[in-house]
Amino acid sequence: MESGYRSLNSGSPPTGLLAEFAGAVVCESLRGGRDLRLSGRALARNTDGGGQNNAAPQFAQLLLCEVLPSSGGALPTLLHELIARVCAAPPSAGGGVSLQLAALEGVFVVGVRAVRLHRDASQRFFRVVPPPRVPVRTRAGWALLLRLLRLPPLYKRLIRSSTLLAQSPQIEVQDPDR
């Protein structure tokens, strides 16, 4: 299983907590209502010795693939403090996985064929990759050039000189030894 990616289908559905979101979660209908995408800030499962969650929330998406028709009504477009759990009882219609989505707006039980949880891996990636090092002289030169270009007379002169250079014929330098 890849870092930042989890998948769950009817093959061997474990029970328990799938994802816990902090704050608002946007619920979007995809493929004509057959799929749902829940997007928000998910809490990581990193805990210290005391059982406290010490990791900052990171962007995550919970994709509910092929929502089964026996799943009650439609979900609201905005959920708050969502907790997604896998239910022990399978959905009534033709296999799949039952999910319990508990939010401040209510508790919803949804039957789906498959569930995918995607977490943003950029924080971990950029923690490992060293930052680019640009010399101070280079940064100062670019900053000076950009500030000078804000002055209208210098901007016009620079544009005029660049167009003159583009229009001038190529000058050939001859070797004096010939």
pLDDT in tens, 62-98: 888 888 765 556 788 898 998 888 886 665 556 678 8
Q: Pick the more confident residue, 168 or 41.
A: 41
* Rounded Cα distance, 84 and 157, in Å: 62
Q: Pick the more confident residue, 40 or 3.
A: 40
* Rounded Cα distance, 49 and 93, in Å: 42
* Rounded Cα distance, 136 and 121, in Å: 31
